[in-house]
Structure 1
Amino acid sequence: MLHGRERECALIARLLDGARERRSAVLVVRGEAGIGKSALLGYAAARADGMRVLRGGGVESESELPYAAAHQLLRPVADRLAAIPAGQAAALRAAFGLGEPVEGDRFLVSVAVLSLLSEAAEERPLLCLVDDAHWLDGGSADALAFVARRLEAEGVVLLFAARDEEPGPPSRTGTGPPTARALHPPAGPPLAGTGVPRPLAGLPELRLGGLDAGAAQALLAERTSVSLAPEVAALLVTSTAGNPLGLLELPGSLSAEQLAGTRPLPERLPVGEVVEQVFLARVRRLGAPAQTLLLIAAAEDSGDVGLVLRAARTLALAPDALDEAEHAGLVRVDGGALTFRHPLVRSAVYRGATFLQRQAVEQALAAVLADEDADRRAWHLAAAATGPDETVAGELEASAERATRRGGHASAASALHRAADLTGHPEPRARRLTLAAETAWLAGQPDRARTLLDEAATRTAEPRLRARGEHVRGAIEGLCGRPDLAYAMLVAGAELVSPPNPAAATPASGAGGPADRAMGHDPSTGVAPGREPGEAPGPDPGEVAGVPSGREAAQAARMLIEAGRLAFTAADLPRLAEAGRRLAGLPPVEEAVTAGGKLMIGLAALLEGDAERAATLLREGRALAKDSADPQSLTMAAGAAMFVGEDMTALDLFTTAAVRARTAGAVSALPLVLAPLGALQMWTGRFAAARATATEGLRLALDTRQDNIAAHHRAVLAWIAAVQGRAEECRTEADAALSRAIGQRLGPPAGIASWALALLDLGEGRTGEAFDRLTALADAAPGEGHPIVKIFAAADLVEVAVRADRPDRAATALDLLRRWAGPARSAWADALVSRCRGLVENADDHFTEALSSHAQAGRPFDTARTALLFGEALRRRRRRAESRRHLRAAREIFERLDAAPWAALARVELQATGETARKRDPSTSADLTPQESQIARMVSEGGTNREIAAYLFLSPRTVDYHLHKVFVKLGLSSRAELVRLALERPGLLDGEH
């Protein structure tokens, strides 16, 4: 047991015991330098009986090398790669530089790390120790954080140790710039006041403080060979604030008289500085050759003794200099590995050197790495540079290209940024800054990307490069910021690479294209529209004077399509029309772009209220895009189908888009695909499926920092919670969605969340409140609601307006619904129009027509609502026998959908007819969590655990864990029984039981 760490050790022991029972756990151990984080990880390793221990960690010199820490951690289990899905294995090999580059989402590597750890844990539980997490490279930090948030039942314990404060730049007693490492910290900016990389934010934490007086004195007594005067021991404890490393190292720097208490101790300093200065004093006692050799090792702290000695020879240092450093206890050499006694030794050595001393060793290291490791060589040369150097800048850019091919976008961004710093001429510097911004965005670092774009914009007037920057800026703003600003950025960027827009152009002839995934929807695939990483934005060979090439026109089209999508989201008809006019002025491009143009112009017609023309254009666009291999094109086609009432076509296309995104491992693309899929599943009564979709989409949106898309998923969850009577959940999710949506002018999530709160009121009998909310939704300004949501919610407004005796509002809402439903030619839309006419005109034949249309429509919740209203109307006219038939049907559907408030309303109406309403026989499928219902549905469709795990970005053991819970809740004992149950009761696992 460690002195003073009984509580912490007990916690670690519990985590290890849980892993032996296949319960995974994650913990980030935080604290200042020397506080005992590594000792606690060592304690865990010593107590990991029966477990396999994997070790890795951040290394400052490797913090710009993609996936360096992940490779170090996973190297011992690399033999298991053949057991994980082939696409994942290929991505991981490429990330580690062991295979050919693989195109795909950066999160595919993260999924592969999860799969590999899960596979390795099949043999025995795993303990993964990641020390010095504050120095993790960006790719490793992202991957390990992704894994940490998905570990459940694998039997894996993942422990991180991270310093509270990230080390600052080294002190400079000479001239020249600080090192590249200081300029560009790893893994994105750390959390404020900590050294914890941002990807690890929100994980369970254990904060280590100093030892109390008793534990500190016990440690001193155990580890100090000389006798300390009691007052000296007390002063050491006070001056170090109980920091264990300070307690152990300070006595060695004091004289015998000071230890005996006959001479005063040094004044108290912050502990990190104390310990570092103690180590630096020990270094200064060595000869000059040993000090220089230590500086070489500090500059290249990969631990490769051979590399250090080769660099030493270029500086005419004898090998015995290493012996002196080792005998002083400052480094250890074991085989070919050199390690510092403590990371603060390395820090003290490097900070204590002058710039010219550091420059000399960086150049020596670069010289011996010339033919061995081009990426390390580039960074050493950059650290030694004192001003613009195109040769070094070129090597860094080449390093960035290699990192990008491996999926290491964060590392590529750092290399390109440093390359820009070393570029003397403004235009090439601006190009590299723009490339750095693109890769930072792909790495999930939007703030860093914005800063780089701001700097690039001050250094170039070249139209194509500025357009490229505006495309990135608009993409970031659209997903993470204000869509109205994003629209302006995208249109401005498109104008830079577009010909003058002919005044006679009409939107109907426009051409366009699906928004580029990298720049519009997916911050983790692709780098720039039509460009490869590092490619100069020079003229297209086919360009003629003053006319954009096909590549430039396609880029402009993508930006305009994306701008149009944002304008539609905000229900901003003038801007949508403007994007359409600009799109119409572009030269023709590929057919997929034409499909995008038709879809966008169709949406403009929908906002204008021309439902007939909108339906025609949307159907034409859907037909052109439905066979696309691109998930975003399929999503656009599915949206078009949804907006014209083609539920089944839309569901099929949305599902296909999601499958293709999953197959490609495009984790970042999924939230945008899942958002409309969840909404449509919700509106078609597939409540369990919708809840699972929105729950997964929300988690992925938060993982990938797509806050605007997260608001949409929260709104869907609020709507489902309202219908199923989970009032607190509804209000919580709706408030969160509205907080984001109103501020950013996100019409659809704002409208759905407001509608959800109205449904909650209506289901609980608060008709007046529901009328007020739905009226406000109908009157909402663009961005506070949305025309599509207003149309879909119109039937509810008709109902509450009739109850509130507001025929004017009922007539207006019915007219809106009828004008859209006619061109849509959808059975469910016709059913709602007939229902509303039955309410307004109090006419049975309209209710009968509605139920007839519902029978073909496949929207059970709407069917039950109509049956409830018809039954209520019949009861009021004392036609009780007829009324009961419809009320029973309504109650049964509501109960199958777990729509508890609505089932209660149906039972009250039945009781009013004189029938004693039976108590509901609850279905245990209602107890399934969203993830359990998702897994159960996939098992019922024949999916294996491994297939489901790959599809949902989970581990097979976690899938098995949830499947066991499904069996228990449903009273089943095998997969065969689950398949049989799903066949006997179709829709059960979608919430239609």
Structure 2
Amino acid sequence: MQTGEFALYGRARECAYVDVLLDKLRHGTGSGVVFAGPTGIGKSALVDYVLSRSADDLRVLYARGVAAESGLAFAGLHELLAPVLGFLPGIPQRQRAVLSAAFALSDDADAAADPFVAGAGALHLLAAAAAEGPPVLVVVDDLDRWDATSRRVLLFVARRAASAGIGMVLTTAGGPGVEDEWGLPAHRLAPLDPAASAALVRRASPVPPAEAIVGRLVAAASGLPLALVELPAQLSVEQLGGATPAPDPLPVGEAVRRMFGARLAGYGRPARTALLVAAAAGPVGLRTTLDALVALGVAETALDVAEDDGLVTLDSDGVAFRHPLVRALAYHDAPLPERRAAHAALAAVTTGEERARHLAAGVPWPDERVAAELERVATSPVGHLSAGACAELLARAADLSVDRTARARRSVRAAELWGLAGAWDSAGELLERVPRLTDDVAVRAGARAVHARGVLLRGRPVSARRVLVSEAVRIRAAHPAGATVLLLDAAEASWLAGEGTAALLAVRHARRLAAPGPLDLLSAVQSATVLAHCGHGVEARELFDERRVALARRLAEGPVAPGWWRVVRIHLPRLLARLGHLEPAAALLDETLTRATRRSALGVLPALLVLRAELGIVFGDWIAARSAAERAVETAGRTGQSADAAAALLILGWLAGTRGDAAACREFVARAREIVDRHRLGGLDPALHAAEAHLDLAGGDPEAAFARLERAGRQAEADELVDCGPLPWIADLAEAAVATGRTGQAQRLLAAARRQDRLAPPVLARAAALVAGEAGGALFAEAVGAGAGPAGPFEHARAALCYGEWLTRRGQRGEALPLLRAALVTFTRMNVTPWTARAQRALASVDAASPEPGPAPPAPAAADLTVQEQRVTMLVGQGATNREAARALFVSPKTIEFHLRSIYRKLGVRSRAELAHRLGRGRLTDAAR
């Protein structure tokens, strides 16, 4: 292990100490150190570091204490000195005789095993070895496990190592006082701090772990490196990613059993049972735990012996274990029947979600009453469990179902919840058994829909569409409502695949099948969303407006169908944003993001974050946009949701290109392109070209921009996918076309955008003004006069810039000057370097002859916030408490307080209210990057 690598995990000081010791030894000066600490603290890892740094030019004598030989006199010393016993003839005769007899190398029965003589002999032996070759380094791990005689002899040598030019590194699990007992300087190894612990967990994890899981593992290990390395290996990939809940208590491995197993083995059966119940209960209150003990026939005093030993403490919150891993071991080392009995006893004395958790673990055979209770808790709209925990309960309810069709139905609903949590593998396992359980058309169609949705979200829209369409055709006569749902999902898959015509056909077929009622309201939202994505804004608006009042009234009553969350919480804010209802879209989206984060709904978080990033661009909240897009990429990577990852990468690329960071822009776009090509996500192709073209346009290369956007335009026209979304690339095409003298395709696309309501009115007016040439004045005035509003401050500044340039070319410099200055102010505040430069060049051409300088660029509106500070700013600025922000970001409230102090200092604000004002009214801009 290299120094830097070891220092990463909190042992820089120890590494430096070892390096100094080895350097002194190479120059002839001996010294020694004892590293002390409990099992698992990292002593052996430090020994490995010592060995890796000393193998080439030192004679290393290494031994490790073994408990099995602790009763054999001289066993440890024999292992250590065996490589240098060839130097025995060179030491004094009496010392040689004692060591030879101790090591059974002679038959001299008169050579008494005198520890002093043996110590002097060992010292002379090591000195003789050092005199004949490289310096000698003695390394002994777990010296406390050596036999007492060997240990006494070695400590005799260690206290004289400096004078003999010998280096010594010893480790022991001995507690405080080892310095006085052994007479040697001892360095006590402290547990790793939380930051180093988290870094070690991430390194040991086979996949990037979710921050919530990192926090749980760090808390459980309490800074013990051995546990930090072992715990991730006990969890599945989905548990590490946060999609499925990690068990509570956490599972343990053999290393943890070695650390704590002997301690628990010494307790009698009543105490072990009491510890098991306490471990299973968690912090539910002491009275509840004691009542469960009584229900099992165990005396309330059974925990006294463990409390007297300091293993647990008892208070009103319940039983707290001295070390979280002791709790884990007390639970997982108990036989399964005893664990079930403990949970059954706890279920009898708890209520609500706690009772459901214990019922799920305590009932060994099918029981419809219990299954129904678990289903009720898992599907409650007011529950506090994570999506994964609800899925676990519902999957358990399916296992406990007596009726096979009920088991299949609950399996489908559990799979849907697993999808909400992002655990598609777990969902697939449940769905595979549905066809074997029932012939019910509705249940089987629901299973196919959930399966195909998982395929779609993981970036295989073509495959998903085939499954959905074929199933819809198969069941449409017997189950038209189910066919409607399948066709609408097929329409979404077609759009994502870049097949707009197929998407429109699926939507219209679904609309013909939809019957009046709650499902029709939801299908109308999903249909309108697909229509808007395909560029049919007028039709989408008409469909939504027809049902807006009924939808609002029905949704106020709560969930209306199994797909309620997905349609209302994801499709509806998307639709509102596409139709220009930005503030309602943002309000609904922020509420949904808070709920999804609180319930760890990783299956929908990436899509929500992408939309949050899109709205951030429109509002001018580029800090929020970048933060949301980065979180989307991270979360989508853990759950395998490729389409959302690609969309977020494109947003990051667009933001980087707008700032003038060409390298970052091209890197993001290249990553997105690889995903799009691999998964055939043709619906994102225009956005790919648009992101790079925006960089070209900002950098003053309209030819390159036009070439890219022309390809995007041809594809959009062919596939009926002229959706501009948050990146109005058709307006970019108009600007590039005018600059290169080619406006034909831009005019066609603009005409289609006008007919179908595809662009925000100010952006449409700017684009139309550009291609209108001499007749563009009124349109430019319309674009600038609309204000930032639905287009956002950046697009409004671009309108002012284009209008100013248009006026300048016509000699109307007086009218151009205030427009160009206003554009410069906005571009400077938003730190969009290429656009700032362009505005400065336009201004220079206007007032080159004027001695009056233009206004100095304003100070940035935001300081150089870190990514985490940006996330805290967004959450707190939107009204989240410290505790809510901590839950959303998987950190502690104290960490939020720390970040807030830094944010206040950097932004020059003094309160949460002022921060909210800056974020909500002034719209924080990305002035630092």
TM-score bucket of the superposed structures, by smaller chain: 0.5 to 0.7
Give the residue type in structure 2 aligned to 1:573: G
* Further displaced range: 421-430 or 631-640: 421-430
Cα distance change on mapping 1:721 and 1:622 into 2, 3 Å: farther
Cα distance change on mapping 1:483 and 1:299 into 2, 3 Å: farther
CA deviation after TM superposition for structure 1 residue 367, in Å: 9.3
Aligned residue for 2:507, secondary structure, equals helix
Cα distance change on mapping 1:423 and 1:663 into 2, 3 Å: closer
Matches of 2:764 and 2:735, distance apart in 1: 16
Matches of 1:638 and 1:332, distance apart in 2: 52
905, 914, 922: which one pairs with 1:968? 905
Aligned residue for 2:513, secondary structure, equals coil
561, 570, 590: which one pairs with 1:658? 590
CA deviation after TM superposition for structure 1 residue 365, in Å: 7.3
CA deviation after TM superposition for structure 1 residue 863, in Å: 3.8
* Further displaced range: 564-573 or 142-151: 142-151
Cα distance change on mapping 1:478 and 1:12 into 2, 3 Å: farther
CA RMSD of aligned residues (A): 6.2
Q: Deviations over 1:626-645 (max 9, x none)?
A: 6755885376455445445x
The aligned residue for residue 832 of structure 1 is 766
Matches of 2:217 and 2:336, distance apart in 1: 41
828, 840, 844: which one pairs with 1:895? 828
Cα distance change on mapping 1:13 and 1:427 into 2, 3 Å: farther
**CA radius of gyration, larger in:** 2
Q: Is the 8 A contact 1:936 1:989 kept in 2?
A: no
- 2:786 matched to 1:853? no
Aligned residue for 1:461, secondary structure, equals coil
CA deviation after TM superposition for structure 1 residue 857, in Å: 4.8
Q: Deviations over 1:709-756 (max 9, x none)?
A: 343333223222221223343333333333334433445655434322
Q: Is the 8 A contact 1:602 1:617 kept in 2?
A: no
Give the residue type in structure 1 aligned to 2:786: Q
Would you say how many aligned residue pairs link Structure 1 and Structure 2?
699
Q: Deviations over 1:650-680 (max 9, x none)?
A: 3333323423653685663555344334324
Q: Is the 8 A contact 2:201 2:217 kept in 1?
A: no
The aligned residue for residue 477 of structure 1 is 455
- 2:916 matched to 1:989? no
- 2:671 matched to 1:736? yes
Where does the alignment leave 5 or more consecutive residues of structure 1 unmatched? 15-33, 41-124, 135-140, 169-184, 202-207, 209-239, 250-275, 383-388, 501-545
Matches of 1:980 and 1:468, distance apart in 2: 46
Give the residue type in structure 2 aligned to 1:579: A
Q: Is the 8 A contact 2:459 2:681 kept in 1?
A: no
- 2:497 matched to 1:575? no
Q: Deviations over 1:844-898 (max 9, x none)?
A: x314531333311523433433443454456566776666555434323322332
The aligned residue for residue 842 of structure 2 is 909
- 2:756 matched to 1:816? no
Cα distance change on mapping 1:292 and 1:424 into 2, 3 Å: farther
- 2:901 matched to 1:923? no
* Further displaced range: 868-877 or 365-374: 365-374
700, 710, 726: which one pairs with 2:661? 726
Q: Is the 8 A contact 2:882 2:893 kept in 1?
A: yes
* Mapping 1:219-368, distance limit 5 Å: none
Aligned residue for 1:789, secondary structure, equals coil
Q: Is the 8 A contact 1:698 1:713 kept in 2?
A: yes
Q: Is the 8 A contact 1:941 1:979 kept in 2?
A: yes
Cα distance change on mapping 1:13 and 1:887 into 2, 3 Å: same
Cα distance change on mapping 1:395 and 1:759 into 2, 3 Å: same
Cα distance change on mapping 1:896 and 1:495 into 2, 3 Å: same
CA deviation after TM superposition for structure 1 residue 681, in Å: 3.9
Q: Deviations over 1:67-124 (max 9, x none)?
A: xxxxxxxxxxxxxxxxxxxxxxxxxxxxxxxxxxxxxxxxxxxxxxxxxxxxxxxxxx
Q: Is the 8 A contact 2:344 2:358 kept in 1?
A: no
390, 394, 415: which one pairs with 1:437? 415
Aligned residue for 1:925, secondary structure, equals coil
Give the residue type in structure 1 aligned to 2:832: A
Cα distance change on mapping 1:311 and 1:634 into 2, 3 Å: closer
CA deviation after TM superposition for structure 1 residue 776, in Å: 2.6
Aligned residue for 1:989, secondary structure, equals coil
Q: Is the 8 A contact 1:751 1:789 kept in 2?
A: no
Give the residue type in structure 1 aligned to 2:456: G
Q: Deviations over 1:572-616 (max 9, x none)?
A: 234323433442343523267347427626854884x76655554
712, 728, 731: which one pairs with 1:792? 728
Aligned residue for 1:924, secondary structure, equals coil
Q: Is the 8 A contact 1:887 1:910 kept in 2?
A: yes
Cα distance change on mapping 1:412 and 1:396 into 2, 3 Å: farther
Q: Deviations over 1:263-311 (max 9, x none)?
A: xxxxxxxxxxxxx9xx89x99xx9xx99999899999975999989998
CA deviation after TM superposition for structure 1 residue 816, in Å: 0.9
Matches of 2:346 and 2:576, distance apart in 1: 58
Q: Is the 8 A contact 2:573 2:588 kept in 1?
A: no
Q: Is the 8 A contact 2:42 2:225 kept in 1?
A: no
The aligned residue for residue 503 of structure 1 is none
Cα distance change on mapping 1:586 and 1:342 into 2, 3 Å: closer
CA deviation after TM superposition for structure 1 residue 793, in Å: 1.1
Q: Taking structure 2 as the reference length, what is the TM-score of the superposition?
A: 0.59
Give the residue type in structure 2 aligned to 1:765: G
213, 217, 222: which one pairs with 1:145? 213
Matches of 1:688 and 1:715, distance apart in 2: 16
622, 645, 649: which one pairs with 1:687? 622
- 2:492 matched to 1:565? yes
- 2:385 matched to 1:451? no
Q: Is the 8 A contact 1:741 1:784 kept in 2?
A: no
Cα distance change on mapping 1:611 and 1:435 into 2, 3 Å: closer
- 2:527 matched to 1:590? no
Matches of 1:946 and 1:290, distance apart in 2: 42
CA deviation after TM superposition for structure 1 residue 341, in Å: 13
Where does the alignment leave 5 or more consecutive residues of structure 2 unmatched? 15-36, 44-192, 203-208, 247-252, 282-288, 559-564
Greater RCO, 1 or 2 (C-alpha within 8 Å, sep 6+): 1
Q: Taking structure 1 as the reference length, what is the TM-score of the superposition?
A: 0.55
The aligned residue for residue 778 of structure 1 is 713
Cα distance change on mapping 1:785 and 1:465 into 2, 3 Å: same
CA deviation after TM superposition for structure 1 residue 466, in Å: 0.8
The aligned residue for residue 462 of structure 1 is 440
CA deviation after TM superposition for structure 1 residue 463, in Å: 1.3
Matches of 1:7 and 1:698, distance apart in 2: 30
Matches of 1:874 and 1:298, distance apart in 2: 81
The aligned residue for residue 19 of structure 1 is none
* Mapping 1:203-222, distance limit 5 Å: none
Q: Is the 8 A contact 1:742 1:783 kept in 2?
A: no
Aligned residue for 1:903, secondary structure, equals helix
Matches of 2:218 and 2:708, distance apart in 1: 38
Matches of 2:684 and 2:214, distance apart in 1: 26
